[in-house]
Amino acid sequence: MYKEKVSKAINSALKHITRSIEASSKTNEGKNLELGIWRSSSELEYALLLFSLTQEKTETTSWKKGINPKKEIGNMEALTEAQKHLQEAEKLVKSGKWEEAYRNTWIARNYVFRIQKNLEKKRKEKLKAETAKKS
C-alpha cells in the first residue's frame, strides 16, 4: 500500500524538480520556479511521512543529523542534486530498499529547503530595494 503512494509522491516531486530546472534556465520564469519548488516540497514531505510510517519503532534514523547541503549552494546546483537523489530514491523504492530510499528522499528535501531559503532571501532583498527606492 505505502510503496505505491511513496513511489507516486517521489515521481511527482521529481517531475516538479525537472520543471523547475527548465524554468530556472529561462528568464522571467521566477513564479514557475517558486511554484515548482513549493509543489516538490509538498510531495517530498508526504513521501517522508509515508516512509516514517513504515519504520519500525526500533529502527534509528541517525543518518538524518549529518545531512545538510553546504551553506552556499546555487539554486541550479541544488536542483540538480535534488533531482539526482530523487532519481536514486525512485530506483530504491522499486527494488524494496526502503531505508536508502528514505535517506535519498530526505537529502533531496534538504536541497529543496535550501532553494526555498535562497528564493526567500532574494525576494526579501528585492522588496527591501523597492522600499528604499520609494523612500
Residues 15-39: tens digit of each pLDDT: 999 999 888 877 656 778 888 999 9
∠ Cα 114 120 125 (to 5°): 130
In b/e form, how buried is each residue of 62-91, taking b as 16+ CB within 10 angstroms? Answer: eeeeeeebeeeeebeebbebbbebbbbbbe
- What is the pTM for the complete model shown? 0.85
DSSP designation for 46: H
Domains of the chain in start order, with CATH, are: 2-56+63-134 (1.20.120)
Q: Which three cell numbers stand for residue 96?
A: 524494496
Q: Which three cell numbers stand for residue 124?
A: 526579501
Q: Please report, in tens digits, the pLDDT of each residue of the chain (135 residues total).
A: 788 999 999 999 999 999 998 888 776 567 788 889 999 999 999 999 999 888 776 555 665 665 666 667 888 899 999 999 999 999 999 999 998 999 999 999 999 999 999 889 888 888 888 888 776
